[in-house]
Amino acid sequence: MEETVGSNFYEDAQVLLESVLKELLLRIDLLRRYEVLSGRNDPVEHCKGRIKTERSMIDKLQRKGLPVTLEAALEEVHDAVGVRVVCQFVDDVYQMADIIRRQEDIKVIKEKDFIKNPKPNGYRSYHMIVKIPVHLPDCTRELFAEIQLRTIAMDCWAALEHELKYKQEIPNQELLQKELKRCSDEMASTDLTMQTIRQMIAGADSK
């Protein structure tokens, strides 16, 4: 059963969150089209977003020892709005991060490069915490959003790791974790091999 506090936790801010999510998805769509119009490759394979469910927002606030209030949800937690940008190649990830950084109205608050510095379990992605303005009749509000950029291989890996993390009581969990880490290192290596081949093809083209 849902707690009553969870049923309408975001209150009026739900509209703001939805607006930020739409704005971000629309922007990324536009940027992709513009890259193609300019004769370059679409750097993005696919892109999706979500608003954190009220249940998991409350869980997160409690886990972090924060007050379970809307204010904390919007100011202390930065991924009420989350967008995931999945690219084909590693350079595309960095290129997209560059493009996002150049957007005048998007304020980059924090960046974490888990590709260059993967988490110990093997998690690789590029994370950006940004602030996006929402224009209301009488004021402008800024809301946090988290953008995760990664390659298809990293995305596939993260999906499997997610399954392992949320499944209880798996026999030989430790072995599977170790194997997953190995997979991540293998996929990262292959990502770089493919990027090198791609650069060689591009280099041969321009000659």
Least distance (Å) between residue 148 CB and another protein: 19
Which x/- pattern, by CB under 8 A, does the window 46-65 give for another protein? --------------------
* Residues within window 88-147 making contact with another protein, judged by CB under 8 A: 90, 115-118, 120
Q: Is 192 in the site for another protein (CB under 8 A)?
A: yes
In the complex, the smallest distance separating the C-beta of residue 65 from another protein, rounded to whole angstroms, is 28
Among 68, 195, 201, 202, binds another protein (CB under 8 A): 195
- State which of residues 29, 71, 179, 185 lies at the interface with another protein (CB under 8 A): 185
Q: Does 200 bind another protein (CB under 8 A)?
A: yes
Decide: 126 and 111 in contact? Cβ < 8 Å. yes
Least separation in angstroms between residue 42's CB and another protein is: 23
Residues in touch with another protein (CB under 8 A): 90, 115-118, 120, 182, 185-186, 188-189, 192-193, 195-197, 200
